[in-house]
Amino acid sequence: MEGEVKHILLAKFKQGITEDQIEEYIKQYANLVNLVPSMKSFSWGKDVSIENLNEGYTHIFESTFESTQGIADYISHPDHVQYANTLLPQLEKVLVVDYKPTKVHL
């Protein structure tokens, strides 16, 4: 699949993880843009929905890649592997989806 692909990670940190620790994990995640060539951008935010349908997920992380192959390269990149092995044990819940943005033409 060619063209831009978004990589979305929804997370709920384990109880007892401090805001300072979360901030440090986010900085490390954001730094992957500087380490993994196929990762084009990174943004994140906290859930602010009023619908109460978040199923406990509190943080959203979005990365942009040039292609699905770019995501494959990212997943196997040593810096990502090292970071994932640090982050994932801190999460109570995690959900990852990748999608290719499609514009709607009305």
Note if 77 is an active site residue: yes
Note if 105 is an active site residue: no
What CATH number is associated with residue 70? 3.30.70.100
Is residue 80 assigned to a domain? yes
Compute the average pLDDT of residues 32-49: 97
- Of 74, 83, 99, 105, the catalytic one is 74
Residue identified by tokens 């692909």 is 5
**Helix, strand, coil % (nearest 5) of the chain?**
35, 35, 25
Q: How far apart (Å, rounded) are the C-alpha atoms in residues 84 and 89?
A: 9
User: Quick one: pLDDT at residue 41?
Assistant: 97
Q: Would you say residue 1 has pLDDT above 50?
A: no
Range of the domain at 45: 2-49+56-99
Q: What is the pLDDT of residues 59-101, one digit of tens each?
A: 999 999 999 999 999 999 999 999 999 999 999 999 999 999 9
- Of 25, 29, 59, 77, the catalytic one is 77
User: Quick one: pLDDT at residue 3?
Assistant: 85
Is residue 104 assigned to a domain? no
Percent over 90 (pLDDT), the chain: 92
